[in-house]
Amino acid sequence: MDFVNLLEYETAAKEKLSASALSQSVYDYYAGGAADEITLKDNRRSYDRIQLKPRVLVDVSRRSLATSVLDQQIALPVLIAPMAFQALAHSDGELATARAANAAGTIMIASTLATTAMEDIAKVFDNDLAKESGRGMWFQLYAYKDRELTRGLVERAVAAGSSALVLTVDAPVQGKRDRDMRNNFQLPAHVQIKNLLGKGGSATFPDGETGSGLAAYINNEFDSSFTWKDIEWLCSLTELPVVIKGVMCAEDALLAKEHGVAAVVVSNHGGRQLDTAPATIDVLTEIVDAADDKMEVYIDGGIRRGTDVLKALAYGAKAVLLGRPVLWGLAVDGERGVKNVLDILRNELDITMGLCGCTSIEGINSSVLASRFMV
Ligand code: FNR
Ligand code: LAC
């Protein structure tokens, strides 16, 4: 029998990846967070603490999970978070994830650090249904020190048909990840950062480093001097809506709004950057208030159950991004595993809506929260 929840996928993936020291280091890279992993754990704990309010005798015989992000129709309010190096989980890598996202009627955010070129991922969404819905791949950008390289990535994303640009802003330096340091985390020779291959950038980690090869890569390549002023430059490069991923306070949400950003993702990078940063759900309200309906607000970090999705929407998120469970599905069973992960979450959200008296995503608000949690 297939797994019945997302936690079982993690257990199975962990078992599978424990087969060798090399794959164990992949598991640690995927599962781990920064330093003591306090934020990583808090992302989950905070959802567990919030209580929902069951409602009875409401006609919930017809429920719809469909919604939109940036005017793109999606079948459920769950997008796939950008995650690097998916070929480490399965030989089909990002293509399997993209196919599963497309089959589920949602969007995959493809990482700059993907092990498949963005053009190949985008092709998966080149079909009538996705086009009619206006949805496609979104490209996640890391700003490189080499400005022309960064510009080139944006231009390629536009040409490939990306339907939004997601700039990740919470990694000017790499968080301290003890597991990766201990494991000397490296990419095997056949796994490369395909978006960078032959484009003048570095498609592999630097040679001869001990500790985390990824930390060395990021610290060599990413532009830690990038500021709000450069957001104006970025917006001038493209008509695509720009989304900023990694906003964790009202002050930065207000700046994002001033700079014409279309949406923000409330994210602490899955607890992988600044340890002891708050859980994302605990700062969502202040950011939704700051956005003041001028920007869409999404959230990620610790979403593992349909109840988590409903809680995030109740606090004002337009949609959520799903991270690690996608990698667990991919590691266990490729495209089928990712599709099943999305189907499980969809089914759990559907049940939760029925039990909270909700029939549409747009109808979800803080009244579904037990009274002491209402905002
Ligand atoms: C990430 N994340 C990430 N974010 C990003 O903007 N670009 C990237 O390349 C990556 N790479 C990446 C790799 C791995 C292995 C993980 C686990 C995460 C962060 C990701 O988009 C998201 O913010 C978190 O994973 C969400 O938290 P959960 O759902 O994993 O708890
Ligand atoms: C990570 C980087 C690649 O979290 O975003 O591993």
Task: Tell whether 124 is covered by a domain.
Answer: yes
- Distance between CA atoms of 93 and 330, rounded to whole angstroms? 8
pLDDT of residue 208: 80
Task: Tell whether 57 is covered by a domain.
Answer: no
Looking at the CA of residue 109, tell me the nearest atom of ligand 1: 21
Is the pLDDT reported for residue 229 higher than 90? yes
Q: Are 242 and 277 in contact (CB under 8 A)?
A: no
Is the C-beta atom of 113 inside 6 A of ligand 2? yes
CATH number of the domain residue 82 falls in:
3.20.20.70
What would the mean pLDDT of 323-335 be, rounded to a whole number? 98
What would the mean pLDDT of 310-336 be, rounded to a whole number? 98
Task: Tell whether 159 is covered by a domain.
Answer: yes
Q: Position of tokens 């769950």?
A: 78
Task: Tell whether 1 is covered by a domain.
Answer: no
Task: Tell whether 117 is covered by a domain.
Answer: yes
The DSSP output letter for 316 is T
The DSSP output letter for 361 is S
pLDDT band at 1 (very low <50, low <70, confident <90, very high): low
Q: Are 370 and 51 in contact (CB under 8 A)?
A: yes
Is the pLDDT reported for residue 66 higher than 90? yes
Q: Express each pLDDT in 238-250 by its tens digit.
A: 999 999 999 999 9
Is the C-beta atom of 88 inside 6 A of ligand 2? no
pLDDT of residue 201: 83
Task: Tell whether 318 is covered by a domain.
Answer: yes
Domain count, the chain: 1
3-class secondary structure, 335 = helix
Is the sign of the CA dihedral 114, 120, 122, 128 positive or negative? negative
What would the mean pLDDT of 44-64 be, rounded to a whole number? 98
Q: Are 285 and 375 in contact (CB under 8 A)?
A: yes
Residue 269 annotated in active site: yes
Task: Tell whether 55 is covered by a domain.
Answer: no
Q: Which residues contact 253 (CB under 8 A, 6 or more apart)?
A: 247, 264, 286, 287, 290, 291, 295, 297
pLDDT of residue 209: 78
The DSSP output letter for 116 is S
Q: Express each pLDDT in 87-129 by its tens digit.
A: 999 999 999 999 999 999 999 999 999 999 999 999 999 999 9
Q: Express each pLDDT in 334-357 by its tens digit.
A: 999 999 999 999 999 999 999 999
Listed range (16-20, 152-156, 308-312, 333-337) with the worst mean pLDDT: 16-20
Q: Express each pLDDT in 131-174 by its tens digit.
A: 999 999 999 999 999 999 999 999 999 999 999 999 999 999 99
By residue range, what is the domain housing residue 280? 6-50+68-348
Task: Tell whether 189 is covered by a domain.
Answer: yes
Distance (Å) from CA 129 to ligand 2 centroid: 31
